Structure 1
Amino acid sequence: MNKPLRRVSVFCLAMILVLMGWATWIQGAKASDYDDDPHNPRVAIAKYSAPLGNILVGGQPVTGSAATNANLKYKRTYKDGPLYAPVTGFSSQIFGSTQLESLYSDLLGGTDSRLQTPADSLLHERPKGGDVATTIDPKVQKAGYDALGGKTGAAIALDPATGRILGMVSTPSYDPGKFAGSGTADQKAWQAMSQDSRQPNLNRALRQPLPPGSTFKLVVAAAALENGLYSSVDQPTDSPDPYTLPNTSTKLTNESTSAPCENATIRTALQYSCNTVFAKMAVDLGKDKVRAQAEKFGFNDGKLDVPVRATKSVYPSDMDQAQTALSGIGQFDDQATPLQMAMVASAIADGGDLKTPQLVDELTDGGGNTVQKNSPRTYRKAMSAQTAAQLRSAMQTVVDKGTGSNAQIGGLTVGGKTGTAQHGVNNSGTPYAWFVSYADDGKGHRVAVAVMVEDGHAARNEVSGNGLAAPIAKAMMQAALT
């Protein structure tokens, strides 16, 4: 063989080897990437070739599947879609999936390896999709949704003893069934939702951190008791009224000039929501001690999964003393989700023990057999039992005699804390209304609730945690315990 021909032969052989290697790499190492690529039409065709498993609330499915006449043989359907959208998320033939629909897509679609039986493997058949049983109590969910009504906001209810999420509401909401298919109507519905300035697809309960306002005073009070700054909620504090912010000439005042805030006890300061008391208390403790206490409740945790990932709630670290004072009343750069504030109330209600919030109770296969059962898990010990008991007592005073009177429920012991958080340039925006609470039926059953109303369509001077948020919490607590 002459030299030029030999070179061509070697080159061709090399090209063949490269091609074979490339094909092997594509079919082997990259196969899973292509299988998981949402732009691969075969993925959607396979997923929607059979009915999906369901997401259950109270043991009943709130999802379903409907036959179509297209290549994608089945599409997702939803029962009471807007009510449960913050729980389920959506599964769309065009636009993918979110929340539980996304996290458990393999189980719901039958491709989870835990569903495989020997017969399935032998016959190369995909098992029937499994089900996801949530912790949601339908009565609590509907009570929160109805009470929020046309307001923009969120509410979440926890069982303090287990961490089970009993209700998780976000409004305005959306109907995931309207864009579950691939038709023109589905595309128009998706476009309308995506362009809605109210962001109906935002899960405000988990992913809308806002200034918590005076509800954060519970965290500061816990820090003061845990660190020995004060020994009791009934010990007078060292608190001038008004309070001059450190190293400034700015005087911090209270909402009511007649409130007995000067040197008030923690109980009285919570009852009247005294800014001066908790601002100075935060400075006296120092930002590091307040932050340490906040983090015991879950602040600054960027990996809180319920199992849906919650947005991190923030207690800042880089502050001077004046900023620390403002952080003590839930302002400056404090940010909290309703989930986070429900965790604060939950820890107080459960004697200082904070359970990890969880939205999913059980996973089952297509035959109803348990694949995974979730048990309660301790998140952290947030405070001592003594501190928790004192804060429960002080929160009861807020509801019985103070700013949280709209949360009173006959036959139940109720404790709460109101909050009105300012925002906007020079606090020009409509304040956010907060209410965090717990209720106890005296028979071993408790519930913790946090409500945030972002826009209640009320005049600025009429916005209050007691007026807008407390009735929503009351409705959810009643549904859970009565």
Structure 2
Amino acid sequence: MAGPGARRMNIPLRRASLACAALLFSLLANLTYLQAFGRSDLEGDPRDQRVLLAKLGRPRGDIITHEGAVVATSRRADAEPYGHLRVYPYGEMYAHVTGHVSLRRATGVERARDAVLSGSDPKVRMRALVEDRAYGGADVRLTIREPVQRAAYEALEATGRPGAAVALDPATGAVLALVSYPSYDPAAYAPGDPTEEAATDRRLRGDPRRPLLDRALHRAYPPGAVFELVTTAAALGSGEYTVASRVGAPARLPLPGPPAFLTAAAGRPCGDGRPPLAYAFQLSCDTALANLGLQLGPDLLRDQAEAFGFNADDLALPLQARTGTYPGDLDQSRAALSAIGRDEVRASPLMLAMLSAAVANGGLLMRPYLVEEVRLPDGSTTDRAEPAPYRTAMPPQPAGQLAALMTTTTVPGGPAAGVALPGMEVAAKTTTSGHGPSACTAFAPADAPEVAVGVVLESTTPSAAAPLARAILRAALP
């Protein structure tokens, strides 16, 4: 039997033993959690180059266009430690779609669909186990149409100015083109010397033209007169206005607060000072549409903007996308300015394309998507996209009326005549003043829409975006 002194000595030992046991249990529990549940997070940590080197030990899947053109592929490396290197045959044209894979990180579709491209996706690995072979990456087939993407990129490149363009299929939401300019060559990030890669990254990030910025999805601009689509949709949907309703359009519109007046662009009344809504829309009469904003009020305008997708934070193509913003704290005066696309209203090129897509599809906006399907190494298809509604922007009848109004802007002499195509009716809306960049949204054919576009061109004349939209429409249509 132990004496009192021994028992007193055993108390600290027991406590130390219990503490050690607790620590050991915590360590085992954490190890079990990491192995069972945290593996995917650890494998996706861009700081772990061992994981990337292991992935590059086998070929990644190809990224291909809708027609099958390969825009990202793998080739065997000439030297260690990389088994394969990433190749981007089209260079800058698809950079903001494909993104790139580097020792530091992945971007674009390379990141958004990394699991299937690298082969770590459970479906890809399971198929390899069933067929008793080494597994590689699956191919990702995009919705991008190569001729449309090329037309959009070359049109933007020819201007030499920063900008972006997006083309959608109104009936499905499929992205037919997605271009941001200036761009960069993703191959510059292909795994190689870490020092050279870091220098490349510093050079591109320090470039004042910001070639790494995806202006199509991550930049929002003042939409100007293009936002009048939203204002007119709100008016027609309210039931209190028709295309024939007369709207006050004075040379100077009094506002309830500062600024005290809004002056018409031409410095004189629009039409006879009380033109029909159709006339005011066609010519983008500032004071008429701002007056309409005063009558409708900020709440109705905001509701209509959000019905088109403004203020949305749930859109991924699977690339995360910014749509646009409509402020939530506007007074009457600011609401009037917002009705003509001023104040703090902003829209991305994607949002501009979504405006036309919704009108073209009878008021139903389909969810935009960029990935058509995933093809496993054995040729079978998985994860095929299913078109789905995203927003009901407006009822079919006012949507039809708005579509008809948009066609009046592309007639000879109209503000959007630069978008017109010979032998085909085109619906469009463009910026008409020097407030902000040049923006254009359009769809065609007007009577049976197949493509909707949104284009923004920075630091240029108001009508400069129209020819770019025309080039994209022409490439998309037979």
Fold match (TM-score > 0.5): yes
Q: Which residue of 2 aligns with 1:114?
A: 123
**Alpha-carbon distance change, 293 to 87 in structure 1, aligned in 2, over 3 angstroms:** same
Q: Distance in 2 between matches of 1:377 and 1:181?
A: 38
- Which structure 2 segments of 5+ residues have no match? none
Q: Which residue of 2 aligns with 1:29?
A: 33
1:432 to 2:437 alignment: yes
Q: Distance in 1 between matches of 2:279 and 2:466?
A: 19
Q: Which residue of 2 aligns with 1:322?
A: 333
Native 8 Å contact 1:409 1:478 kept in 2: yes
Q: Distance in 1 between matches of 2:466 and 2:272?
A: 23
Question: Alpha-carbon deviations, 1:343-383, whole Å to 9, x = none?
Answer: 11111111111111111111121122111111111112211
1:59 to 2:68 alignment: yes
Q: Which residue of 2 aligns with 1:105?
A: 114
Question: Cα distance, 1:135 vs. partner?
Answer: 0.5
**Alpha-carbon distance change, 249 to 191 in structure 1, aligned in 2, over 3 angstroms:** closer
- Which structure 1 segments of 5+ residues have no match? 424-430, 457-462
**Alpha-carbon distance change, 410 to 449 in structure 1, aligned in 2, over 3 angstroms:** same
Cα RMSD, aligned residues only: 2.2
Between 152-161 and 9-18, the greater mean CA deviation after superposition: 9-18
1:212 to 2:220 alignment: no
**Alpha-carbon distance change, 436 to 224 in structure 1, aligned in 2, over 3 angstroms:** same
Question: Alpha-carbon deviations, 1:263-296, whole Å to 9, x = none?
Answer: 1222221222111011110110111111111111
Question: Cα distance, 1:75 vs. partner?
Answer: 2.1
**Alpha-carbon distance change, 284 to 182 in structure 1, aligned in 2, over 3 angstroms:** same
Map residues 12-161 of structure 1 onto 2, 5 A cutoff: 13-14=17-18, 16-18=20-22, 20-31=24-35, 32=39, 33-57=41-65, 58-68=67-77, 69-92=79-102, 94-117=103-126, 120=129, 127-149=135-157, 150-161=160-171
**Alpha-carbon distance change, 417 to 312 in structure 1, aligned in 2, over 3 angstroms:** closer
Q: Distance in 1 between matches of 2:46 and 2:20?
A: 31
Q: Distance in 2 between matches of 1:236 and 1:118?
A: 65
Out of 151, 158, 167, the residue aligned to residue 177 of structure 2 is 167
Q: Which residue of 2 aligns with 1:331?
A: 342
Aligned residues: 463
What's the TM-score once normalised by structure 2's chain length? 0.91
Question: Cα distance, 1:437 vs. partner?
Answer: 0.8
Question: Cα distance, 1:152 vs. partner?
Answer: 0.1
**Alpha-carbon distance change, 287 to 441 in structure 1, aligned in 2, over 3 angstroms:** closer
Q: Distance in 2 between matches of 1:383 and 1:311?
A: 21
Out of 378, 386, 392, the residue aligned to residue 375 of structure 1 is 386
Map residues 275-314 of structure 1 onto 2, 5 A cutoff: 275-314=286-325
Q: Which residue of 2 aligns with 1:427?
A: none
Question: Cα distance, 1:333 vs. partner?
Answer: 0.9
**Alpha-carbon distance change, 249 to 154 in structure 1, aligned in 2, over 3 angstroms:** closer
Q: Distance in 1 between matches of 2:259 and 2:215?
A: 37
1:408 to 2:420 alignment: yes
Between 173-182 and 303-312, the greater mean CA deviation after superposition: 303-312
Q: Distance in 2 between matches of 1:120 and 1:168?
A: 37
Native 8 Å contact 1:222 1:391 kept in 2: yes
1:481 to 2:477 alignment: yes
Percent of paired sites with the same residue: 35
Q: Distance in 2 between matches of 1:398 and 1:360?
A: 34
Question: Alpha-carbon deviations, 1:223-257, whole Å to 9, x = none?
Answer: 000002312x2332233332111245622122224
Native 8 Å contact 1:110 1:126 kept in 2: no
Map residues 181-220 of structure 1 onto 2, 5 A cutoff: 181-183=191-193, 184-220=195-231
Q: Distance in 2 between matches of 1:377 and 1:79?
A: 32
Q: Distance in 1 between matches of 2:282 and 2:98?
A: 38
Q: Which residue of 1 aligns with 2:450?
A: 446
Structure 2 residue matching 1:351: 3-state secondary structure? coil
Native 8 Å contact 2:47 2:104 kept in 1: no
Native 8 Å contact 2:252 2:261 kept in 1: yes
**Alpha-carbon distance change, 261 to 210 in structure 1, aligned in 2, over 3 angstroms:** farther
Question: Cα distance, 1:402 vs. partner?
Answer: 1.3
**Alpha-carbon distance change, 71 to 396 in structure 1, aligned in 2, over 3 angstroms:** same
Q: Which residue of 2 aligns with 1:428?
A: none
1:230 to 2:235 alignment: no
Between 132-141 and 95-104, the greater mean CA deviation after superposition: 95-104
Native 8 Å contact 1:163 1:376 kept in 2: yes
Native 8 Å contact 1:212 1:434 kept in 2: yes
Q: Distance in 2 between matches of 1:65 and 1:38?
A: 20
Structure 1 residue matching 2:340: 3-state secondary structure? coil
Native 8 Å contact 1:420 1:434 kept in 2: no
Tell me the amino acid that sits aligned with residue 442 of structure 2.
Answer: S
Structure 2 residue matching 1:151: 3-state secondary structure? coil
